[in-house]
């Protein structure tokens, strides 16, 4: 997983300026933050610091429409009860702080018999997305479904990463899919009854990637710090996130929408939450 986001100028300004609040209200924090941002901009107008001051009105309007922000404003603790791909069991999130442009989540998951946690800073992106950005990795989440009671979300995630070496898109993603054997639903040579004849042991471990999976591979150029590089995204993930009070009784409409969302995903559906496993696991510490 990528590290904590620390180098986004707008995010740093807002974290320093806005009064954080824990999943309640929001208008007061925005108003207080506006004055503090203007004050900070005045202090740095001599050019000693290059600070990008956000447009408060535009940021506020965009945030108010962001379904992720609306969801986590109402729920301090949520659980990812089902997900596609190689995810950790008992994954859940607790809101540490939130404002009109970003959210800080502490993410817990099970490692052995214990919970470990990692803090993550996310920004509310364009078109209602949630974004986690590091120097080599970007993850973007978008809402596929939100129920009318605001107790659950079905989410699609896109992971974009900068490949190591000079691998092509197909080489990079083929390797990613082949060795992600707990996450991608493909037929593997060792699972079939075919006669491989003179094939080597090494070739048996490299399953053929179906064309319907290869069609999901994508690339794009990302410019950061004045340098443009190509990033790859292989097979998307889907998550089913519910409010803490609904973890043992997941709303049926969200279950149905999640099942629809994963029909063509080619990733393996995983049940991450169970009462007997997750509620008996003890905390161990942070990573």
| Tokens encoding 35 | 């004055």
Taking the complete model, does pTM exceed 0.75, yes or no?
Answer: no
Rounded average pLDDT over 24-37: 38
Note the pLDDT of residue 29: 39
3-class DSSP assignment, residue 150: coil
pLDDT at 36: 38
Kind and range of the H or E run holding 277? helix 275-278
pLDDT tens across 130-161, in order? Answer: 999 988 899 999 999 999 999 999 999 999 99
SS3 286: strand
Structural contact between residues 129 and 62, judged by C-beta atoms closer than 8 angstroms: no
Q: pLDDT tens, 185-244? A: 877 665 444 443 444 455 456 778 999 999 999 999 998 888 899 999 999 999 999 999
Q: pLDDT band at residue 33, thresholds of 50, 70 and 90? A: very low
The tens digit of pLDDT for each residue in 156-202 reads 999 999 998 889 999 999 988 888 777 888 776 654 444 434 444 55
Query: Average pLDDT for residues 10-16, to the nearest whole number?
Result: 36
Answer yes or no: is pLDDT of 88 > 50: yes
Q: Which of 127, 136, 84, 130 is nearest to 105 (CA)?
A: 130
Using the predicted structure, report yes or no on whether residue 86 has a pLDDT greater than 60. yes
Question: How far, in whole angstroms, is CA 196 from its chain's centroid?
Answer: 40
What integer pLDDT is reported at residue 25 of this predicted model? 36
pLDDT at 180: 79
Extract the runs of DSSP E, i.e. beta strands, from 39-136.
77-84, 92-98, 102-111, 114-124, 130-133
pLDDT in tens, 43-83: 344 444 444 445 555 655 656 689 999 999 999 999 999 99
Q: Which of 188, 164, 151 is nearest to 75 (CA)?
A: 151
For residue 130, give the nearest of 68, 55, 63 by alpha carbon.
Answer: 68
What are the pLDDT digits (tens) for 112-132?
888 899 999 999 998 899 999
Q: How far apart are CA 86 and CA 270, in angstroms?
A: 8
Q: Alpha-carbon torsion 142, 91, 139, 7, what sign?
A: positive
Give, in degrees to the nearest 5, the angle at Cα 11 between 20 and 30: 40
The CA distance from 23 to 189, in Å, is 49
CA distance 179 to 202: 13
Find the mean pLDDT for residues 79-93. 93
The pLDDT of residue 108 is 95
Domains of the chain: 9-162+233-286 (2.40.128.20)
């Amino acid at each position: 997983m990528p590290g904590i986001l620390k180098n986004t100028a707008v995010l740093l300004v807002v974290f320093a300026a806005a009064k954080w609040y824990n999943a309640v209200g929001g208008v007061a924090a925005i108003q207080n933050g506006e004055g503090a941002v203007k004050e900070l901009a005045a202090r740095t107008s001599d050019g000693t610091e290059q600070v990008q001051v956000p447009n408060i009105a535009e940021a506020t309007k965009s945030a108010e429409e962001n379904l992720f922000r609306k969801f986590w404003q109402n729920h301090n603790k949520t659980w990812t009860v089902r997900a596609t791909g190689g995810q950790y069991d008992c994954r859940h999130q607790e809101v540490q702080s939130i404002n009109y442009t970003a959210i800080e989540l502490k993410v817990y998951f099970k490692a052995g018999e214990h919970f470990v946690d990692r803090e993550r800073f996310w920004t509310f992106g364009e078109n209602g997305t949630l974004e986690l950005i590091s120097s080599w990795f970007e993850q973007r989440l978008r809402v596929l479904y939100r129920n009318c009671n605001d107790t659950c979300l079905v989410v699609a995630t896109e992971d974009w990463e900068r490949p190591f070496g000079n691998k092509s898109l197909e080489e990079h993603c083929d390797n990613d899919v082949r060795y992600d054997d707990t996450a991608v639903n493909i037929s593997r040579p060792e699972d079939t009854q075919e006669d491989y004849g003179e094939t080597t042991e090494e070739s048996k471990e490299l399953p053929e990637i179906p064309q319907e999976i290869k069609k999901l591979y994508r690339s794009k150029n990302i410019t950061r710090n004045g340098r443009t590089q190509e990033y790859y995204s292989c097979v998307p993930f889907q998550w089913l996130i519910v409010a803490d009070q609904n973890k043992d009784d997941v709303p049926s409409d969200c279950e149905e929408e999640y099942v629809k969302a994963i029909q063509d995903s080619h990733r393996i559906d995983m049940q991450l939450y169970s009462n007997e496993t997750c509620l008996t696991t003890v905390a161990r510490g942070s990573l």
